[in-house]
Chains A and B, each alone.
Chain A
Amino acid sequence: MSMAAPKAGRLRQFDGRDRWVALAMAGIPTILHVALVWIPTIASILLSFTDWKGIRFSDINWVGFKNYEQIFTVFQKNFFQALINNSVLLIFLFIGPTALGIGLAYLLDRDIRGTRFFQGIFFTPVVLSLAVVGFMWQSVIYSTENGLATQLFGGGAAIDWIGNQSFLIPFGDDYGVSRNFVAILVAIAWRHTGYIMVLYLAGLKSVDTSLREAAKLDGSNEWQVFRHVVFPSLKPINVVVAVITVIEALRAFDIIYVLNTPRKTEVLSILTTNNLLGEGGGNVGRGSAYATILFVLCFGFVIWYVTNHYRATQEGADS
């Protein structure tokens, strides 16, 4: 009966006790989430305008934009290099792990022998703890004298993978893409590819196989089938991968951190951690300013994604 008048039906979804039950079900988790995630976020933004040392509330002094000013002047070389590194990472994640991940997913989606086994291998790095991953790359692969990469490419000589901060691609005198950052990108690719691969594998499973077959019968070659049939139908996955990639590129932290953050490989999250928590931490004001910059970059993108996603849902629901 209420079906006939959906608007009225909506209002009558809850009555009496149900209203309170529903409110509690949504409210308690929301309070927890807001209290521990959003309120601290706002507090960090406020703290970025202070010179707080992080010990007593009574020592909080407002300093206006001083922390930001310092980041953009005396600490600019660190800051802009970090910004460059985040950007390079973003581009790299798209052309490296994402492309390779799609490729592997496409190959493994065919009925090849041992596909589960291969999937397992590629996905293993994703489930490993970062401490383990850091150890593997720092010691096993990139150790200057003993590492595998040195033994393979050094021809008997030592190679400084992690410490070589000279620019492979310089942007002027002070900035660029350093060699050790490239080495770290390889480690990041190792971890990220499996993630992307799995997302696309799932996406490919939902591609209508009859479309593929039909395209093949039309005489399209493998690439054309992928380009015109498979890839377009992966659009929802593409959106998710884009979101994950952008956010991961901005938030990137762990592998670089466990490798001791070699010089010129700093990213924004590392600068934040170093100033906020690290041995040289205790400068909550400046650390929070770094955190706020990172937040603003992430948040702009998050807003875009969330509004898009829910607008689409909304429209879907209303139509």
Chain B
Amino acid sequence: MSTVAAVGPRRRGPINLGRILLYVFVALTALVWLVPIAGAIFASFRPFADTVRDGFFSWPSSLTLDNYRNAWEQGDIARKYWNTVVILLPALAFTLFFSSMVAFVCSRYSWRFNILLLSIFTAGNLLPQQIIIQPLFQFYNRVELPEWLSNSGKLNGSALGIILIHIAFQSGFCTFVLSNYMKLLPKSLNDAARIDGAGVWKQYWQIIMPLTLPAIAALATLEFTWIYNDFFWAVVLEQQGADRPITSSLANLGGEFFTDDNLIAAASMFVALPTLLVYLALQRYFIAGLTIGAEKG
């Protein structure tokens, strides 16, 4: 798992034409990549009337924080952040917990069905969401829950329902990645533990999991963005606008007819901020997360 390791120093090449061209190419491409983002940020500070009159890329006649204020209030952003937290944290924790258990059992022991089991998870992760959604909705809509678990009295319309489908769906990818990772840990670890009298749970929790932490951390950052960015499940499985997570409520600012793009731009910034922060802080884990499974694929 060399990917998690820091990049070692390498000798810097001499300054030559090729090198300059390289910089120019990379910098220009990066600039192109930044344009849509910069445009949205710019628009978020301008009144609607300005961009309607002059276009998105024009000298601003005035800059304002009004869009942010209005988006925050009208979009009820604080509550939407909270809704996201309520769904995201349990979903993330249980996705990792569940998939690490399956990965552990399947990769550390040989038994008849482990390949089949891993195949089910791996393939499940690659299914289109659309094939799942309608029966899932119908099922959720027929499961009754006590009031304290669900405002609607059903699994449909409860945070629990969204959490469960996130766990079920995302554990496909995580199981795949973690089993690849765990397979590379020396077999002798288990044997040694067994001789010491450690049971299966102890082997999992005290021996294997601590060694798997780098992979868990990497997956956690990745799954954080995936679950955070999901809107498909939430839009279909939660009918209460106020209870939807932030990504699926961005559109909340569009009206029956009229949509204020600048307001949406400001709201987008609120939506984008958490993933950007997580990404910037944990960039290293991110890259590792995407590639751990890949390395020995």
**Do the beta carbons of B39 and A34 come within 8 Å of each other?**
no
**Do the beta carbons of B51 and A146 come within 8 Å of each other?**
yes
Tell me which of A70-78, A159-167, A199-207, A224-232 binds B. A199-207
Number of interface residues of B (CB under 8 A): 107
Q: Which of A2, A124, A137, A303: most chain B Cβ within 10 A? A: A124
List B contacts of A202 (CB < 8 A): 3, 287-288, 290-291, 294-295
Report which B residues bind A (CB closer than 8 A): 2-3, 5, 7, 9-13, 22-23, 25-27, 29-30, 33-37, 39-40, 43, 51-52, 54-57, 98-99, 101-102, 104-106, 109-111, 115, 117-124, 126-136, 138-139, 164-165, 167-169, 171-172, 175, 183, 191, 199-201, 204, 225, 228-229, 231, 236, 247-248, 250-251, 261, 264-265, 268, 271-272, 275-276, 278-280, 283, 286-288, 290-291, 293-297
**Do the beta carbons of B2 and A205 come within 8 Å of each other?**
yes
**Do the beta carbons of B39 and A136 come within 8 Å of each other?**
yes
Q: Mark A5-41, 1 if CB is under 8 A from B, else 0.
A: 0000010011001100110011011101111111111
Which of B52, B171, B265, B278 sits near A29, CB closer than 8 Å?
B171
List A contacts of B13 (CB < 8 A): 110-111
**Do the beta carbons of B128 and A251 come within 8 Å of each other?**
yes
In order of increasing CB-CB distance, the 5 nearest A-B pairs are A202-B291, A140-B39, A29-B98, A43-B135, A40-B135
Which of A199, A276, A306 sits near B123, CB closer than 8 Å?
A306
Closest to A109 in B: B7
Nearest CB in chain B: distance from A69 CB, A? 20
**Do the beta carbons of B101 and A135 come within 8 Å of each other?**
no
**Do the beta carbons of B128 and A25 come within 8 Å of each other?**
no
Report which A residues bind B (CB closer than 8 A): 2-3, 10, 13-14, 17-18, 21-22, 25-26, 28-30, 32-41, 43-45, 47, 54, 104, 107-108, 110-113, 116, 118-133, 135-137, 139-141, 143, 145-148, 150-151, 190, 194-195, 198-199, 201-203, 205-206, 209, 236-237, 239-240, 243, 247, 250-251, 253, 269, 272-273, 276-277, 284, 287-288, 290-292, 294-295, 298-299, 302-303, 305-307, 309-310, 313-314, 317
**Do the beta carbons of B204 and A25 come within 8 Å of each other?**
yes
Which of A22, A35, A247 sits near B109, CB closer than 8 Å?
A22
**Do the beta carbons of A26 and B199 come within 8 Å of each other?**
no
